[in-house]
């Protein structure tokens, strides 16, 4: 059984924190909140513990994990040949929702990096994440705490729904404030490559980096290991409709409703929906939308809807991170 360890982020109970830290030091898996989403933690330098992460998630071994540190000075324990641009970014965004891809230290086990020579490193801004990692005294490898391809968890309940019975414990520090995963920026390439957009706008990151980034190359296979097209997907099928196309959204809902489908709608605009449709209207401010998106998808999955019609977000740069997640959620299931 998976234990829920409730802990106030700002005044963590030392006994609760030690319980979670002891489990981790013993090689067990403990999920914990970060400001973006809940992570599934394991000792980053313990190859056996890291292997348990892949088993619990059902994650393919070529999909690397992010290593979480509690203090900026720990970066040298994980990475080598750190370029100046990385330090410029760390000055501003460590702690924060940014993952930097760097050359790995020899001691980082190969299963953390998917066999590769680079490692993702992040210093989360969540006080409980920092307290936990500090209590463990060593970096934690932590992917999002969900089964492979599922929507990331932003509450401890989401974690338990997905991984209950498969992990030792979840440290419950309440809902996450950011709500979508960190931006993933590779600073081993020149210019740096933005593998995954987050809530930090690309232009904001570029301003601190002092140089423009390149977009990931388009290849038939997954570009960043793990950037699979279908990811962050609810159980229900997702249909995207253009931003502001109220008539189009109403038409799709009426179409599926007439065919007896159980429906959910996630919208920004005011839309007239059939009475049997669960409508979730999200705020039109990016930060608030991102914070609530995954909870909306989890809630609709909980209602066992067949189809979720989602209004696409505006095509502006500040929405890049959210738009990326919606496109992935709507991607057709991979043939198996």
Among 65, 78, 265, 296, binds ligand TXA (CB under 6 A): 65
Contact 64, 91 (CB under 8 A): no
**120 lies in the site for ligand TXA, by CB under 6 A:** yes
Residue carrying structure tokens 């290593």: 67
**312 lies in the site for Mg ion, by CB under 5 A:** no
**139 lies in the site for ligand TXA, by CB under 6 A:** no
Provide the token pair at 269: 């605009």
Region from 60-68, 77-85, 263-271, 296-304 binding ligand TXA, contact rule CB under 6 A: 60-68
Region from 51-59, 95-103, 136-144, 284-292 binding Mg ion, contact rule CB under 5 A: 136-144
Among 36, 111, 118, 144, binds Mg ion (CB under 5 A): 144
In the 8-state DSSP scheme, what is residue 72?
Answer: G
Contact 181, 49 (CB under 8 A): no
Nearer of residues 181 and 311 to ligand TXA, judged by Cβ: 181
Nearer of residues 256 and 294 to Mg ion, judged by Cβ: 294
Residues in the chain: 336
Angstrom CA distances, 332 to 148, 195, 229, stand at 15, 21, 9
Region from 95-103, 143-151, 204-212, 297-305 binding Mg ion, contact rule CB under 5 A: 143-151
In the 8-state DSSP scheme, what is residue 124?
Answer: -
Among 69, 99, 140, 293, binds ligand TXA (CB under 6 A): 99
Contact pattern for ligand TXA over residues 27 through 56, marking x by CB under 6 A: -------x-xx-x-----------------
Q: Which does 142 bind (CB under 5 to 8 A by kind): ligand TXA, Mg ion, none?
A: ligand TXA
Q: Return the residues of window 152-211 that contact ligand TXA according to CB under 6 A.
A: 181-182, 184, 195-196
Q: Which does 226 bind (CB under 5 to 8 A by kind): ligand TXA, Mg ion, none?
A: ligand TXA
Dump the DSSP string for 86-115: HHHHHHHHSSSSEEEEEEEPTTS-TTTTTT
Among 20, 24, 42, 64, binds ligand TXA (CB under 6 A): 64
In DSSP terms, 170 is beta-bridged to: 4, 31
Angstrom CA distances, 318 to 33, 202, 277, 321, stand at 24, 8, 30, 8
Angstrom CA distances, 205 to 67, 201, 211, 225, 293, stand at 20, 7, 9, 22, 23
Give the closest residue to 184 by CA, choosing from 200, 203, 167: 200
Contact pattern for Mg ion over residues 90 through 129, marking x by CB under 5 A: ----------------------------------------
Contact 276, 260 (CB under 8 A): no
Contact residues for Mg ion, defined by CB under 5 A: 144
Contact residues for ligand TXA, defined by CB under 6 A: 34, 36-37, 39, 63-66, 99, 101, 113, 116, 118-120, 122, 142-144, 181-182, 184, 195-196, 224-227
């Amino acid at each position: 059984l998976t234990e829920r360890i409730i802990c106030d982020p700002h005044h963590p109970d030392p006994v609760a924190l030690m319980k979670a830290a002891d489990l981790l030091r013993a090689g067990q898996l403990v999920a914990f909140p970060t400001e973006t989403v809940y992570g599934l933690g394991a000792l980053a330098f313990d190859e056996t513990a890291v292997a348990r992460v892949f088993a619990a998630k059902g994650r393919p071994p070529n999909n690397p994990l992010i290593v979480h540190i509690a203090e900026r000075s720990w970066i040298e324990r994980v990475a080598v040949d750190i370029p100046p641009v990385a330090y410029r970014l760390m000055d501003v965004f460590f702690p924060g929702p940014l993952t930097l891809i760097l050359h790995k230290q020899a001691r980082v086990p190969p299963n953390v990096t998917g066999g590769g020579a680079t490692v993702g490193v992040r210093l989360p801004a969540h006080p409980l994440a920092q307290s936990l990692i500090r209590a463990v005294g060593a970096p934690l490898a932590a992917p999002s705490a969900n089964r492979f391809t599922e929507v990331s968890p932003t509450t401890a309940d989401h974690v338990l729904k997905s991984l209950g019975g498969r992990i030792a414990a979840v440290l419950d520090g309440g809902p996450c404030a950011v709500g979508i995963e960190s931006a993933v920026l590779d600073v081993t390439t020149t210019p740096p490559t933005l593998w995954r957009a987050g809530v930090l706008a690309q232009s904001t990151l570029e301003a601190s980096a002092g140089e423009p980034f390149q977009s990931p190359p388009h290849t038939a296979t997954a570009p960043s290991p793990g950037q699979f097209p279908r990811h962050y997907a609810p159980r229900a099928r997702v249909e995207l409709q253009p931003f502001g196309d109220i008539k189009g959204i109403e038409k799709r809902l009426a179409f599926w409703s007439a065919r007896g489908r159980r429906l959910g709608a996630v919208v920004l605009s005011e839309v007239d929906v059939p009475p049997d449709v669960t409508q979730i209207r999200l705020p039109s401010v990016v930060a608030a939308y991102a914070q609530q998106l995954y909870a909306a998808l989890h809630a609709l999955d909980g209602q066992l809807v067949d189809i979720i019609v989602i209004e696409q977000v505006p095509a502006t740069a500040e929405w890049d991170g959210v738009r990326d997640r919606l496109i992935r959620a709507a991607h057709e299931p991979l043939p198996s």
